[in-house]
Amino acid sequence: MEHLQDILKNEHYRKIKFRVTRTQHLLIKAKINGISGDFILDTGASNSCVDFSGVSVFGLTAGHSKTKAAGAGATGMFTQLARNNRLQIGTWKNSDFHVVIFDLSHVNQALIEHKAKPVAGIIGADVLMAGKAIIDYYNHCLYLK
């Protein structure tokens, strides 16, 4: 019987390693517009997002958004949207990546309180669905097609 990784390789999936933090978050390296950062891999987040401080770091052009963000203990937060960016996770790429921008200080503060490093943002279900994601929790691998 073939192993999962062999089957997925034959189906043109890209294998990306992640690590599990002391807070049990899945942490993954990603690049937005060629700039690397640490991101939480979050299947429960509908959209990928970065903190407002990431606008200049990742060279984002923030535009208007009617959406209010909610999650991780906060609701009704002001958001902006940056369209048409380049996202790279491992060797998987998306050249038409839209990212939500909002205040992630509550997330990073919680991480810091648990002696974990802050993150640049969150990779959410929008990317996971676009990449037809398969998560191998046991081997700490994300597969994107």
pTM: 0.90
Whether residue 82 contacts residue 101, with contact meaning beta carbons closer than 8 Å, is answered with: yes
Query: Are the CB atoms for 134 and 9 separated by under 8 Å?
Result: no
**Where in the chain are the domains?**
18-133
Is the CATH number of domain 18-133 3.30.460.80? no
Taking phi over 0 as left and psi of -120 to 50 as alpha, with beta for the rest, 24 belongs to: left
The per-residue pLDDT string of the chain (145 residues; one tens digit each, 9 = 90 and over) reads 468 889 999 999 999 999 999 899 999 999 999 999 999 999 999 999 999 999 999 999 988 776 655 555 555 678 899 999 999 999 999 999 999 998 999 899 999 999 999 999 999 999 999 999 999 999 999 999 9
16-39 per-position pLDDT tens digit: 999 999 899 999 999 999 999 999
